[in-house]
Every structure is written in structure tokens, then in C-alpha cells.
Amino acid sequence: MFIWASAASAAAVILLLIIVSYRRQIRKICRQLDFLKENKTNLRLTSDLPLPEIDALIDEINEVLDRAREIRQDTRNSESRLKETITSLSHDIRTPLTSLDGYFQLLQQSSSEEEQKKYIHIIQTRISSLKDMLEELFTYTRLQDGEYKMELEQMDFAKIVYDTVFSFYDDFQQRGIEPEVDFCEGHLYIQGNEEAVRRTLQNLIRNALVHGKEKIVLELYCADGEAVFRCSNDTEHPEEIDMDQVFSRFYKADSARTHTSAGLGLSIARGLTERMGGRIRAELEENIFSVDVVFKLHC
């Protein structure tokens, strides 16, 4: 009887010690959680008890804390990108608007019909640039929507390339550049969206016109069952081009941001191309910058 009583007493003491240890550990976890709530730290909860239940609880809590930290970091990154976006947009939209205001004042003050026609032409050009910029922003925003669907159909990639390049004839004339053209013959059928393909090609050619110095080369060819359109231009300052950023939004190689665009042309071209199952790539060899748009051929 005495032995049973002693065993029961020992068990009671052990149980009491376990309960006390559990409570002490719970209080410690609460203190750690209070500390983590009040301080920005990457510390994780720890346990003094070698008990699987406590360890499992702490592991679960630490996973929740890690996920919360990731969400906070993602939120901070998103806020930073939003601030950067607003700053870029403010600059890019304010520049043509300021220019418009100046030319409107000159137009009002001018009494020369020739000068008035000149200012009107400049104003129309600035308004057109502003419209293009806003259209770029709208297209870029639409591409960020994961639910945006693009209707695809079989089309003649070669014909779209011919038509798009020809539509830039006046632009090449104004720049005093005669592009070197090397197009393969015949039809090149791909699966795509005609409006998106045309917009992609336009963005590549516009980029070459803006940043090219004297030389623009346009190529269309087949390789390994794929249709490839390449747009190349010479650059005055190739060292300023960050090849890791050329397809990033709002990226402009000219640090002074002298060109009236939102810096979205190549980013939109990539988004449209990838939505159609194609690939886009860029390379820089010495002072020649090239962008390739690649689509799988469909017979």
C-alpha cells in the first residue's frame, strides 16, 4: 500500500512539474509573440521543452510568422514600385503637357501665319505623342490582368511584317534613314492575334527609330521551324544600355529621359509576344542593339 502511495505521489509531482513547465513555456511563447508584435525583427519562436507537441506548435507559429513577413515585404515592394510608377508617369506626362502649354502661349503671341502653322504642327505632334503614351499605359495595364484573354488564330506573319514596315515609310524619310531590309519570300503562318502582332512590330520599329543613330536593319527569316523578325539599330552610347532591364517597364536607355514616351514599348512587346506563345529576346554586339520576335510556324 505504501508503495502505491509513493508511486502516486511521485506521479503527481511529475505531472505537476510538467504542467508548470507547460505553463512556463506558454508564457514564454506569449512574451516572444508580444516582442515580435512590437519590434521589426526576423527572430523566431524557440522552445525550452523537448516535447513534440510544443515543438510542433512552435513550428506552425513560425511558419505563420515567416509568411506574414513575406507578405509585409511584398507589400513594401509593391508600395515602392507604385511610388516609382507614379514618379515616372508624373514626369513622362508632365513633360509633353508643359511643352504644349509653352507652344500654345507662343501661338497666341505670334502674328505670323507661318509661325502659327509651325506651332500648330508642333502642338499636334505633342498631342499625338501624349495619346500614344496613354495608349501604351492602357495596354500595359491590361497585360497585367491575369484574366485577360487574347483570341488567337492562324495568320500570315510575313504579310503583317510587310504591311507594318511599309507603314513606317514616312517615319524613315523624316529621320533620313533608309532601312536595310532582308525578308525571306513566301508565307509564314503562325498562331497569333493580328492586332497584338502588329502592335509588337510597331513598338520594335519605333524603338529603333527613337534610339537608332544612322542605321536600322530589318530581317525576316525561318529557323528551326520558327518565324523570326529581327529589328536592329546602331546606338551612340551602347554602354548606357542595361541588357537586364530593356524589357522592364519604364526603362529608358537615355538617362536624361529626352524622349517623349512612357518607356513601355519593349515591355509591352514582350507581354504581347508571350501571351501569344512566342518568344522575344534582345542582344547587344558592339554598338548594334537587336530585338528578335520568334513564333512557331503553323502549316
Q: Where are the domains of the chain?
A: 74-143, 153-296
CB 183 within 8 A of CB 222: no
CB neighbours of 293 closer than 8 A, spacing ≥ 6? 200, 201, 204, 228, 229, 230, 269, 273, 278, 279, 280
In angstroms, the CA 237 to CA 155 distance is 38
Can 74-143 and 153-296 be said to share one CATH topology? no
Q: How far apart are CA 229 and CA 206, in angstroms?
A: 15
Walk along the chain (299 residues) and give the pLDDT tens digit of each residue: 556 666 667 667 677 777 777 788 788 888 888 887 788 777 788 777 777 877 888 888 888 888 888 888 888 877 776 676 666 666 666 767 777 888 888 888 888 888 888 888 888 877 877 776 677 676 767 676 666 777 889 999 999 999 999 988 888 888 888 999 999 989 999 999 898 899 899 899 988 998 888 899 999 999 889 999 999 999 888 888 777 777 776 555 554 444 545 567 788 889 889 989 999 999 999 889 999 999 999 86
Alpha helices (runs of H) in 168-275, residue ranges in sequence order: 169-175, 194-211, 265-275
pTM of the model: 0.61
The CATH architecture to which 153-296 belongs is: 2-Layer Sandwich (3.30)
Rounded to 5 degrees, what are φ and ψ at 251? Answer: -80, 135
- Concatenate the DSSP letters of all residues of 25-55 into one string: HHHHHHHHHHHHHHS--------SS--HHHH
Of 37, 270, 237, which Cα lies nearest the Cα of 144?
Answer: 270
Any residues with CB less than 8 A from the CB of 228 and at least 6 apart, and which?
219, 220, 221, 222, 292, 293, 294
Element (H, E) at 166: helix 157-167
- Residue 258: per-residue pLDDT: 45
The secondary structure element, H or E, covering residue 5 is helix 2-38
Cα-based torsion angle of the residue sequence 4, 7, 12, 16 in order, rounded to the nearest 10 degrees: 180
* Residue/partner pairs of 195-200 with CB below 8 Å, 24 or more apart: 196/150, 196/272, 196/275, 196/276, 197/155, 197/157, 197/160, 197/272, 197/276, 198/160, 198/163, 198/164, 199/139, 199/268, 199/269, 199/272, 200/268, 200/269, 200/272, 200/273, 200/280, 200/293
Q: CB neighbours of 238 closer than 8 A, spacing ≥ 6?
A: 284, 286, 287, 289
- In CATH, the number for domain 74-143 is 1.10.287.130
